[in-house]
Each structure stands twice: as C-alpha cells, then as structure tokens.
Amino acid sequence: MTRSPTTWETDALTEKDFHDVVREGVTLVDFNAPWCAPCHAQLPILSRLAQQFQARASVISLNIDDYRRTAQDYGILNIPTLIIFRNGKEIQRFVGLQSEAVLSRALESIVD
C-alpha cells in the first residue's frame, strides 16, 4: 500500500500498512482510541500539522483498540502517544496531549 505524504489518515491502518507507511521518510504516528478525550483534543493539531508538513512528512492515526498488537509492539501504555519515525526507526516519542508548537519543532528538526 502506498500513501501520499500529504494524506492525513484518520482511519486505523492494518499491521502491514503501518510498517509500509513508516518504512520510508518521516512519519508522525498518533496512537489513540475513540473513547480518549485528550486524543480528540489532539486531532485538530494533527490535522494542521499534516497540512503544514504535507510535502515533507506523513501524519497518520492508529486506533489502539483495533490494533492492539502494534500498540503492544511499541509499548504504548498511555494515550495519546505520538511517535515520529524516520525510515522505519523511532526518533522521538511524546506521551499525552502535545501542543502544535512542540510537535512542529520536533518535526522541523527531523525533516531538515
């Protein structure tokens, strides 16, 4: 499966799709759940970041209720957890609701 880095993914990815997406380039992954209030508060921020970094990074969402194995593989214990990957390797992790400024600075430092 090929995804454009301009795509803001609100749907959960399959296990295989997840690994395909994070394999190349920079990807910010939002591990979340529909019942999580801070996760809902994070969504508009992620949407703006997806627009801001559209040609340089992907921003995707993964519902941990649907994809427990992936969440377990990455040691997701609290949500939202946001992980920035570069070429399949975890570069930076954030736990809890994050500001747009914090995530933007982190992405800028990784994509440049």
Residue 36 known to be catalytic: yes
Q: Which of 36, 45, 106, 107 is catalytic?
A: 36
Task: Kindly give, in sequence order, each residue whose CB lies less than 8 Å from that of residue 61, ignoring residues fewer than 6 positions away.
Answer: 9, 10, 11, 12, 29, 30, 32, 46
Catalytic residue among 12, 22, 39, 84: 39
Residue 39 annotated as catalytic? yes
Contact 59, 21 (CB under 8 A): no
Positions annotated as catalytic residues are: 36, 39
